[in-house]
Amino acid sequence: MNSAFALPLDDDGVLQLAAQSMFEVFARNAEGMLVVDRNHRIVWISEGYKRFLPALGFEDERDFVGHRVEEVIPNTLLAQVIDSGRPILVDLLTNKAGTFLVSRLPLRDAAGAVIGALGLVLLDHPETTMQPLIAKFGRLQQELADARRQLAAEQVKNRRPKYQIASFIGSSPGALELKRLARRVAQTDASVLLLGETGTGKELLAHAIHAASQRAPKALVSINIAAVPETLLEAEFFGVAPGAYTGAERKGREGKFKLADGGTLFLDEIGDMPLALQSKLLRVLQEQELEPLGSNQVIKVDVRVIAATSRDLAAMVAAGSFRADLYYRLNVLPIKVPPLRERSDDIEALADALSEDIARRSGMPARQLTPEALDLLARQRWPGNIRELRNVLEQASMMSDDLQLTPDHFRGLLPLAAGRPRPPAAEEAAAAPEALLRPLPEQIAALERRAIAAALAQTRGNKLAAARLLQISRAALYDKLAQYGEDLAA
């Protein structure tokens, strides 16, 4: 029949002819082609493909066809294409038969179900015909590997400890005993619990212990639990699997435990950890394995934990706000960091070191303290400890051009800043007998109430700013407000 009078084909007919035509074109022009069924078994190979059989270890086509494709073609991904239903349009395949540029396409029935796959060898030994492209690909792969190694090295470098045990300044009995204990626990892998008031140097000590340990070449990862919103803590600790929830990163994110693998994880303000998360932390410490958020994959980790808190964990355990089993797991090697008022012999050395650091950071000349000024500093209670001492020195240095600081420079910064010597105990008792007759806890509570009220007044009721001003955690401030009454925040 004359083609000019041929009846038009329907859509299905056109598609069938197109599929048949494309199949014939591929079979004639590709270096080789094979078809695999849904069970991964090879059902047909082209004439061109037969020349690869000897290199694959087969003399006869009948010994090759009928086998599962992954059993007879090393490194093939045709089985993956069938199982996933997704094509791999261009890829390099290397096995004992050589290197090939290949394409892999899923085959579907009329209902759209995968019934097999088509494998095409587009180029035989493309390293010869596509040498510039292959060389460029190799360079890019090498550059990517080098960048990953450099990034990993930078991450570890950025997480190096900032302090050594010698960085803990002081030669008082309390400071010397603390440094002895730090050197001792550094030689073990057991958990360390640093206890002490805010500003005593617990973070410095955590860095120092890591630096003196066998884990020093690996990362030191720190996380302040009080500074992370409760809803994000689990992700911060254990990481997030790709696409775990709406808004999650496509590539996922590693948690602090994974980042610290082989090294040390410093958990600051451990007393602020939500009760619900404590059991998960306990399991990781016991099993040394974790599951990222949204994942069923178990990841092994090797992490040494150093925890720190200014809160009374034993009392929290008794009150039911901290798990007893987690407390015992963390409290293997407890170290009590003494407050500054118990090591007044170290005030001079600390003041010198802090003044030099303040000068270096500000670009101003270093200030010297007179003996009277040092005596004044040594007589303070320092509720904020070393952090408070630094703050006072910084304020006195910034507000004066004098190179020598006297008691007058601390006027208004300290309770005992008038420059007069402290009265003897008998004179203090005579001056304020009612104060000395009050129980010590009441006096401390009154002082805390006044300090919190002043901080809230100065920050106009901003609790986060007030907590920073008081150098305590936000959670600790809320605890105090609950203890003394919310009227303080009014």
- The predicted-structure confidence for 15-60, as pLDDT tens digits, reads as follows 677 777 778 877 787 889 999 999 999 999 988 899 889 988 888 8
pLDDT of 434 reads 44
Kindly report the average pLDDT of the chain as a whole number: 83
Average pLDDT over residues 140-158: 61
Distance of alpha carbon 109 from alpha carbon 85, whole angstroms = 12
pLDDT of 41 reads 94
Distance of alpha carbon 315 from alpha carbon 312, whole angstroms = 5
- The predicted-structure confidence for 227-258, as pLDDT tens digits, reads as follows 888 888 888 999 888 765 545 555 678 889 99
Tell me what percent of the residues of the chain surpass a pLDDT of 90. Answer: 43
pLDDT of 247 reads 52
pLDDT of 468 reads 81
pLDDT band at 137 (very low <50, low <70, confident <90, very high): low
Distance of alpha carbon 457 from alpha carbon 201, whole angstroms = 28
475 vs 108, residue with greater confidence: 108
413 vs 487, residue with greater confidence: 413
- The predicted-structure confidence for 275-304, as pLDDT tens digits, reads as follows 889 999 999 999 999 888 888 888 899 999
Interacting residues of 223 by C-beta distance below 8 A, sequence separation 6+: 236, 237, 256, 265, 266, 267, 268
Distance of alpha carbon 54 from alpha carbon 60, whole angstroms = 8
**pTM of the predicted structure, to 2 decimals:** 0.57
Tell me what percent of the residues of the chain surpass a pLDDT of 70. Answer: 82
- Domains of the chain plus CATH, in order, are 3-124 (3.30.450.20), 165-338 (3.40.50.300), 341-410 (1.10.8.60), 434-489 (1.10.10)
- The predicted-structure confidence for 174-199, as pLDDT tens digits, reads as follows 999 999 999 999 999 999 999 999 99
Instruction: Give me the helix-helix angle, 440-458 and 463-470, nearest 10°.
Output: 130
